[in-house]
């Protein structure tokens, strides 16, 4: 198999699709994105990077940022984080508040919104949000080996204005004593973290440490983040993604997905249209094709 050709074929196939899903429209910045875009990029163990499609176009990484926030929070708190958030699939939508009520304010995992808010609170510590965001950008720029990674403040502002459900989650966590900072404070950091803008070229490089191709955190920790991505990275579509793609992955509502083939590759795809579970429709299909052709599934 010629991987370069495979990527070209996948990009061509995706360009021809008419059923591309629906881009997120809850804030103007996401609704305005041209849905006819698709990009893919792969970093390999030998240090090479292959890309196809709109691979240099920046997009809002949104929930993909939760992976990096988790790495930072674990760096600060270590396993203590797991007293505040669990490691189980929720079986529910990303923004559900149900389990939080019946399970005493301890979110199921760090990738559902409630768990990500707790994770950001932990990563934040007692610092001003600005300092945490600076650390996050430094982490991303180092991982991607690219200084040109920024936060889109218009996106963050729009999220702040419309994110009532996230405010509900944060206040609920606070009511259960599972936030150390004031809700507004944590959400300020959280919305800015989600508003990071990257291209698939940058994102694939930034994910290399999870594939074991770059040393930024302990291998044991990377392994465990991969496990969480596989069981929880696509919310109530995680089982389906594991079944079809067979790789740890984390999606964002901006249409990006970071997928990891441990020891082999870090893969980023992007296409703005979402499937009913809120994950990139073409991104998922492209990864399914890629996994089938490469045999990179972790399941054999």
Q: How far is the CB of 89 from a second copy (least distance, A)?
A: 4
Give the H/E segment covering residue 261: strand 256-261
Of these residues, 33, 112, 253, 269, which one is catalytic? Answer: 253
At 10, phi and psi to the nearest 5?
-60, -45
- Shortest Cβ 288–a second copy spacing (Å): 12
User: 144: closest CA among 198, 65, 69, 76?
Assistant: 198
Rank residues 205 and 208 by Cβ distance to a second copy and give the closer one: 208
> Cβ(280)–Cβ(60) under 8 Å?
no
Binding of a second copy at residue 168 (CB under 8 A)?
A: yes
DSSP type of residue 22:
B
161 contacts a second copy (rule: CB under 8 A): no
Q: Does the annotation mark 130 as catalytic?
A: no
Residue 68 CA to its chain's centroid (Å): 8
Contact indicator for 110, 225 with CB cutoff of 8 Å: no
- Any catalytic annotation for residue 67? no
Q: For the purposes of burial, counting CB atoms within 10 Å of the CB of 169, is it exposed (0-12), middle (13-18) or buried (19 or more)?
A: buried
Shortest separation between residue 15's beta carbon and a second copy, angstroms: 27
253 is catalytic: yes
Q: Which of residues 237-276 bind a second copy (CB under 8 A)?
A: 237-240, 242-243, 246, 248, 260, 262-263
Letters for 84-123 (x = contact with a second copy by CB under 8 A, - = none) are --xxxxxxx---xxxx-xx-----xx--------------
Residues written for the chain: 300
- Residues 157 and 3: their CA atoms lie apart, in Å, by 40
Binding site for a second copy (CB under 8 A): 86-92, 96-99, 101-102, 108-109, 164-165, 167-172, 174-175, 183, 210-212, 219, 222-224, 226-228, 230-232, 236-240, 242-243, 246, 248, 260, 262-263, 297-300
Residues with catalytic function: 63, 66, 190, 235, 253
């Amino acid at each position: 198999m010629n991987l370069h050709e495979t990527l070209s074929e996948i990009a061509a196939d995706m360009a021809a699709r008419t059923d591309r899903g629906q881009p997120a429209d809850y804030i103007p910045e996401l609704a305005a994105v041209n849905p006819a875009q698709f990009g893919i990029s792969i970093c390999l163990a030998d240090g090479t990077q292959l890309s196809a499609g709109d691979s240099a176009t920046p997009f809002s990484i949104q929930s993909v940022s939760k992976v990096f926030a988790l790495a930072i929070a674990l760096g600060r708190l270590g396993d203590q984080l797991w007293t505040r958030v669990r490691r189980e699939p929720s079986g529910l939508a990303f923004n559900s508040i149900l389990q939080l009520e019946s399970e005493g304010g301890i979110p199921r995992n760090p990738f559902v919104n409630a768990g990500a808010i707790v994770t950001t609170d932990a990563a934040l510590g007692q610092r001003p949000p600005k300092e945490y965001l600076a650390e996050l950008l430094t982490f991303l720029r180092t991982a991607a080996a690219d200084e040109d990674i920024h936060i889109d403040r218009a996106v963050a502002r729009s999220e702040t204005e419309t994110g009532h459900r996230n405010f509900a989650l944060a206040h609920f966590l606070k009511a259960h004593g599972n936030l150390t900072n004031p809700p507004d404070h944590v959400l300020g950091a959280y919305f800015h973290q989600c508003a990071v803008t990257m291209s698939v070229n940058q994102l694939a490089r930034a994910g290399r440490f999870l594939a074991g191709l770059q040393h930024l955190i302990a291998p044991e920790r990377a392994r465990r983040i991969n496990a969480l991505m596989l069981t929880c990275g696509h919310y109530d579509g995680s089982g389906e993604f594991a079944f079809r793609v067979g790789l740890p992955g984390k999606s964002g509502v901006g249409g990006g997905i970071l997928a990891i083939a441990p020891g082999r590759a870090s893969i980023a795809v992007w296409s703005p249209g979402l499937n009913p579970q809120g994950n990139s429709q073409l991104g998922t299909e492209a990864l399914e094709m890629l996994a089938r052709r490469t045999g990179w599934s972790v399941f054999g």
